[in-house]
Structure 1
Amino acid sequence: MSVNHGANLYDLSKQYGFSKDEFLDFSSNINPFGTSTLAKEYVINDINMVSVYPDPEYVELKKSISSYCNCNKDNMVLGGGATELISSFISTIDPKKAVLISPAYSEYEKELKKINCEIIKYFSREYNDFEIDPVEFVDFINKHECDLIVICNPNNPTGFSFSKFEIEIILKNTNAFVMVDETYIEFTNTSIYSSTPLVDQYDNLFVIRGTSKFFSTPGIRLGYGLIGNENIKNEINKNLDLWNINIIASSMGEIMFTDNNYINSCVNTILAERNYLYNSLCEFNNLTVYESKGNFILCKLKDKTITASELREKLIPKKIIIRDCESFDGLDEYFFRVCVLKPDDNRYLINSLKEILY
């Protein structure tokens, strides 16, 4: 993995002599409880499905996603992970000027640069705890006459999230397409923060989700986009390969989106552990800790006697990896991010930080 996407466990294993499985990777925002057991068992018990072509219409998968997201199954496109859909949407609408909230996930900028789109950055500010006023944001968009707005919601790495009502303010008061990446939305109260119910009402909205983070399935490469604009949806689908979702990913999706016991258990445990981590980190006098709607927490070292990179290096011998955030636009060398792991792992992190920072 590149520096922009967390740790390379293979390189670190060689460098420090640990097995990659020994590391506690607090740099990777993936659900630590793994994926749905029901979904895995379904695949294991019917592994001969690999000798069959997937349904090219993915009817059952779309039904499962539609029920999960409370949206029209006809307003859906499927992709090999959220990143493919980000690329497909941007290349399809071919914007001339786009506004990016920064700091944010780096792939948006990479995709926009591929089509030579002018990029205008709207920086969320440290002094505002990285929160964004939607009315001020709308004024900024209109002032710069942007035709695409890219929003990661909740934002990685700051953890800030617009509510769906605030997203609607943006939709109603601008003339731009709005692309909302909801990769981390399951870690919020989705009834308040998810924009999926708006898809059927606004034809300038594209909501992207993936299964890598919450469902802990980065290996199957399954993402989905929700859009009510028929023309753009058809254009995206026209440029996607036939059977672009493999049968393992499709079959797992059909099951895991309906596995409510798994979903509820993960949400409840991760949110409780996020609260523990946040409260524990706030007890450090030399840390500024930012509230998060994601499964990760952004922190800043206040006294500047140690950088985030140096802290990261001190934690690696303890088999802990955190994310140094200097590569995020707008953050300096004192910012780092930790994700939520299992209860014992989170407590080990806090104790290890005490040994270094107290």
Structure 2
Amino acid sequence: MSINHGANLYDLSSKYGFSKEELMDFSSNINPFGTSKLAKEYIINNIDIVSMYPDPSYIDLKKSISNYCKCSYENIVLGSGATELISSFIKTLNPKNALLLSPAYSEYESELSKINCTITKYFSKAEDDFKISIKDLAENISKNNYDLIIICNPNNPTGFTFSSKEIEEILKSTSSFIMIDETYVEFTDTDIYSCTSLVDKYKNIFVIRGTSKFFSTPGLRLGYGLIGDNNLKAKINSHLDLWNINIIASTMGEIMFNDKDFIDHSTDVILKERDYLTNELNKFNDLHVYESKGNFILCKIKSKTMTASILRKKLISKKIIIRDCFSFDGLDEYFFRVCILKPEENRILVKSLNEIFS
């Protein structure tokens, strides 16, 4: 992975002499429990499906997604990871001006820049704990004629999250297209925060999800988008390759989205561990900890004697990797982010931070 996608475990293991398996990666925001055992076991026992072409219509996969997201089957588009859908949607919509809620994942700005789109950034502020007033945002949108508004929900890296009711307030008041990236929404209460059901009601919303983070399958490259605008949906599909989802990704997806035990266990444990880690980090006088609804927590080092980069290097010697957030627009060298790992790893992180800050 590049600097904008977490740590490169291959480089770090070579540089520091650790095996990749020894490193505790708190930088990449991936479900620490791995993927669905049901899905893995099916592939192991049916590996000969690699000799078959996937269903070009992906009917069973779309049915699984439809049930999982509580949205219409007809409103689903598939991509080779969420990144392909971000790129394809922006190219297809071809906005002349866009509002980007920041700080944010760098890929949004990169894709907008490729089409020479004028970008306006709406920054959440550290002094407001990165919380955004829906009233202020709606007023900004109503005063400007944006073609596209991009919202990562929960936001990476701040963890702030709009409820679906708040997003609906914006949808009611604007004709601008809103792209909601829900990469991390499954790590929180989807009934409150997910916007998937709004796609069947409003034509100016595109919701993007992937399986890399929650289902721990970045190697599969399986993403999906939800959109009710039939014309735009047809154009997006026309830009995608035939069989752009391989048969292993398609089959695993069908099973993962229906694996309730895996989904419930992951959500329950990660939410409990997020509370634990938030409470423990808040005990450090040297840290300011920001409330998060994602599976990660943003922190700022109060003391000017240590930067996030220095802290990161100190932790690497303990086989722990955190994310230095200086590459995020609007954040300085004192911000870092940690994701939620397994209980025993989270406790090692707290112990190691105690050793460093004491």
Q: Please indicate the TM-score interval, normalised by the length of the shorter structure.
A: over 0.9
Deviation at 1:36, TM superposition (A): 0.1
Corresponding residue of 1:91: 91
Deviation at 1:2, TM superposition (A): 1.6
Corresponding residue of 1:223: 223
Matching residue's letter, 1:136: D
Deviation at 1:22, TM superposition (A): 0.8
| Separation (CA, whole Å) in 2 of partners of 1:175 and 1:231 | 16
Deviation at 1:193, TM superposition (A): 0.3
Corresponding residue of 2:273: 273
Deviation at 1:143, TM superposition (A): 2.5
Once structures 1 and 2 are overlaid, which stretch shifts more, 133-142 or 69-78?
Answer: 133-142
Q: Secondary structure at 2:74's aligned position in 1?
A: coil
- What are the Cα deviations for residues 249-295 of structure 1, in whole angstroms up to 9, with x where unaligned? 00000000000001000100011110110000000011000110100
In the TM superposition, 1:77-88 aligns within 5 A as 77-88=77-88
Matching residue's letter, 2:106: S
Corresponding residue of 1:203: 203
In the TM superposition, 1:183-198 aligns within 5 A as 183-198=183-198
Deviation at 1:145, TM superposition (A): 1.7
- What are the Cα deviations for residues 220-260 of structure 1, in whole angstroms up to 9, with x where unaligned? 00000000100000010111111110000000000000000
Deviation at 1:141, TM superposition (A): 2.0
Corresponding residue of 1:106: 106
| Separation (CA, whole Å) in 2 of partners of 1:160 and 1:67 | 27
- What are the Cα deviations for residues 16-52 of structure 1, in whole angstroms up to 9, with x where unaligned? 1111111000001000000000000111111000000
Corresponding residue of 2:137: 137
| Separation (CA, whole Å) in 1 of partners of 2:295 and 2:42 | 27
Corresponding residue of 1:245: 245
| Separation (CA, whole Å) in 1 of partners of 2:272 and 2:192 | 19
Corresponding residue of 2:74: 74
| Separation (CA, whole Å) in 2 of partners of 1:303 and 1:26 | 22
Matching residue's letter, 1:260: K
- What are the Cα deviations for residues 88-126 of structure 1, in whole angstroms up to 9, with x where unaligned? 110011000000011011100000001000000000011
Matching residue's letter, 1:322: I
User: CA RMSD, aligned part only?
Assistant: 0.6
Q: Is structure 2 residue 290 aligned with structure 1 residue 290?
A: yes
In the TM superposition, 1:109-188 aligns within 5 A as 109-188=109-188
Q: Is structure 2 residue 85 aligned with structure 1 residue 61?
A: no
In the TM superposition, 1:7-86 aligns within 5 A as 7-86=7-86
In the TM superposition, 1:323-334 aligns within 5 A as 323-334=323-334
| Separation (CA, whole Å) in 1 of partners of 2:289 and 2:168 | 29
| Separation (CA, whole Å) in 2 of partners of 1:256 and 1:165 | 28
| Separation (CA, whole Å) in 2 of partners of 1:89 and 1:12 | 34
| Separation (CA, whole Å) in 2 of partners of 1:330 and 1:248 | 40
Matching residue's letter, 1:122: Y
Q: Secondary structure at 1:110's aligned position in 2?
A: helix
Q: Secondary structure at 2:219's aligned position in 1?
A: helix
Corresponding residue of 1:303: 303
Matching residue's letter, 2:350: I
Q: Secondary structure at 2:151's aligned position in 1?
A: strand
Matching residue's letter, 2:90: I
Q: Secondary structure at 2:21's aligned position in 1?
A: helix
Q: Is structure 2 residue 343 aligned with structure 1 residue 346?
A: no
Q: Secondary structure at 1:180's aligned position in 2?
A: strand
Q: Secondary structure at 2:317's aligned position in 1?
A: helix
Give the alignment's TM-score, normalised by structure 1. Answer: 0.99
Matching residue's letter, 1:26: F
| Separation (CA, whole Å) in 2 of partners of 1:326 and 1:317 | 21
| Separation (CA, whole Å) in 2 of partners of 1:115 and 1:143 | 24
Matching residue's letter, 1:317: S
| Separation (CA, whole Å) in 2 of partners of 1:3 and 1:70 | 35
| Structure 1 spans left out of the alignment, 5+ residues | none
| Structure 2 spans left out of the alignment, 5+ residues | none
Give the alignment's TM-score, normalised by structure 2. Answer: 0.99
Aligned pair count?
358
